[in-house]
Amino acid sequence: MYVVVMAGGSGTRFWPASRRRRPKQLLTLTGQRSLLQQTVERLGPLAGPDQVLVVTGLGHADGVRQQLPQVPDCQVLAEPLARNTAAAAGLAAAWVARRDPQAVCLVLPADHLITDESLFLATLKRAIELARQEDVLVTLGLTPRFPATGFGYIETGQVLDETPPQVRQVAGFHEKPALEVARQYLRSGRHLWNSGMFAWRAEVLLKEIARHLPDLAAGLAELAPSLGTPSQEAALGEIYPRLPSISVDHGVLEKSPHLRVVKADFGWSDLGSWEAVAELWPADPAENVCQDGRLLAIESQGNVVSAGGRLTALLGVKDLVAVVTDDVLLILPRQRCQDVRQVIDSLKEQGLDEFL
Binding site for its own copies (CB under 8 A): 16, 294, 296, 298, 303, 305, 307, 310-317, 320, 322, 324-333, 336, 339-340, 342-343, 346-347, 350, 352, 355
Which CB, 160 or 313, lies closer to its own copies?
A: 313
In the complex, least distance from residue 349 CB atom to its own copies, rounded to whole angstroms? 10
In the complex, least distance from residue 109 CB atom to its own copies, rounded to whole angstroms? 27
Which CB, 45 or 309, lies closer to its own copies?
A: 309
Q: Label residue 259 exposed, middle or buried (CB < 10 Å: 0-12, 13-18, 19+).
A: buried
103: Cα separation from own chain's centroid: 22
Which CB, 162 or 327, lies closer to its own copies?
A: 327
Query: Nearest Cα to 197, choosing from 117, 82, 87, 120?
Result: 120
How far are the Cα atoms of 101, 167, 194, 344 from residue 162, in angstroms, in the given order? 30, 7, 20, 46
Query: Nearest Cα to 16, choosing from 281, 326, 338?
Result: 326
Which CB, 58 or 332, lies closer to its own copies?
A: 332
In the complex, least distance from residue 339 CB atom to its own copies, rounded to whole angstroms? 6
Exposure on the CB side of residue 166, measured as CA atoms within 13 A: 17
In terms of DSSP bridges, do strands 52-57 and 76-79 run parallel, antiparallel, or are they unpaired?
parallel
How far are the Cα atoms of 33, 114, 166, 257, 274 from residue 280, in angstroms, in the given order? 15, 11, 28, 38, 10
Exposure on the CB side of residue 91, measured as CA atoms within 13 A: 36
In the complex, least distance from residue 328 CB atom to its own copies, rounded to whole angstroms? 5
In the complex, least distance from residue 221 CB atom to its own copies, rounded to whole angstroms? 45
Which CB, 107 or 289, lies closer to its own copies?
A: 289
Query: Nearest Cα to 90, choosing from 209, 234, 197, 198?
Result: 209
Which CB, 261 or 324, lies closer to its own copies?
A: 324
H-assigned helices in 68-213 = 84-99, 117-133, 179-188, 202-212
In the complex, least distance from residue 144 CB atom to its own copies, rounded to whole angstroms? 29
Q: Which phi and psi (to 5°) does residue 289 adopt?
A: -125, 145
Query: Nearest Cα to 300, choosing from 321, 319, 282?
Result: 319
In the complex, least distance from residue 338 CB atom to its own copies, rounded to whole angstroms? 11
Which CB, 159 or 298, lies closer to its own copies?
A: 298
